[in-house]
Amino acid sequence: MQRLIAGATGAPYAATGSLAGTDLAEDKPDTLFRVPDPADPRAEVTLAAPLRPDVTLIHAVAADEDGNLALVPPLGEGAWAAYAAKRGVVASVERIVSREELRAIADRVLIPGTRVLGLCEAPMGAHPQALRTGGLAGVTGYRDDYAFLEEIVDSCHGPERGRDWYRTWVEGTGSHEGYLNRLGCVRLAELAEPAEPAATATGTGPGTGAHPRGPEQRAGRTAPVPVPAPRAPLGHQVAARAAGRAGTALLERPAELPAPAAPPPPPGRNA
């Protein structure tokens, strides 16, 4: 996280005191540097070189057709990784909304469309991890699928070292729709978060009152999560706009964004 923050902000290094003496600090001569502490010459601090991935993959709650991404905490390293990426972001979202709908929740837009290279709609796209939504853009959140995670661990420790799991859940599903079909409506409904009161767009909460909920949610019950219909891929932003929420938008962006200036040699070391 600290290296991503340094990469996102253009800082030459990230300072940390948590790596000294651990295995994580070993064999990283080009990444971690032990230098004298400026405030206490008898002590040392660790400087970590900034991390700038080529492309960052992010799953958000919602986006408009311009690629502006709305997220709800906990955010993890997502926003920092998006700004640290050299080329930009490839994003999936639970729901693609209109510009007007996103404008109503503008306080939740953390990553602008200018950073987004490609966008697709993928319900349950964070699975098997949880996604908290607070009802943002009318999207129901879901819990961590611990049973699924245990299946992955068991497979990786099995005789095929995870290859059987890969065949079943990656190669065997054929598409995101096939993945959701294999999970099944019952499992998806069990993972769905209970309905939350919709918040206003005044910044008092993560949701907005602009997206009415169904009768099951208004009654405090969780409706089954529908499996999405197949969507044809679209190759250009204009086509994505014409199709509304359908398809994949490949947003035209520069091949690579300018990198921050190269960091200077760490203090206490020869250039």
pLDDT tens for 13-31 read 999 888 877 888 888 888 9
pLDDT at 119: 97
130 or 267, which is more confident: 130
- Worst-scoring range by mean pLDDT, 52-61, 104-113, 192-201, 213-222? 213-222
pLDDT at 263: 55
In whole angstroms, give the CA distance from residue 84 to residue 9: 8
Helices (runs of H) and strands (runs of E) counted in the chain: 9, 9
pLDDT over 70 for what percent of the chain?
72
pLDDT over 90 for what percent of the chain?
57
* Mean pLDDT, residues 215-219 taken together: 37
pLDDT at 21: 76
- Structure tokens belonging to residue 266: 């760490």
- Scored b (16 or more CB within 10 A) or e, 70-85 reads bbbeeeebbbbbbbbb
Confidence check: pLDDT of 91 > 60: yes
Confidence check: pLDDT of 247 > 70: no
In whole angstroms, give the CA distance from residue 62 to residue 152: 28
In whole angstroms, give the CA distance from residue 270 to residue 202: 53
- Structure tokens belonging to residue 94: 């639970």
In whole angstroms, give the CA distance from residue 249 to residue 231: 12
**Residues near 181 by beta carbon (within 8 Å), at least 6 away in sequence:** 173, 227
- Structure tokens belonging to residue 96: 């693609």
DSSP H helices, the chain, are: 2-9, 78-84, 99-103, 146-156, 163-166, 176-183, 185-191, 215-218, 237-242
pLDDT at 219: 40
pLDDT at 26: 85
59 DSSP β-pair partners:
92
3-state helix, strand, coil in the chain (%, to 5): 30, 20, 50
Confidence check: pLDDT of 208 > 50: no
Confidence check: pLDDT of 145 > 80: yes
* One-letter amino acid of 123: P
* 8 A C-beta contact, residue 91 and residue 59: yes
Per-residue model confidence as pLDDT tens digits over 47-69: 999 999 999 999 999 999 999 99
Mean residue pLDDT across the chain: 79
Confidence check: pLDDT of 204 > 80: no
Residue 40: other Cβ atoms inside 10 A: 9
pLDDT at 228: 40
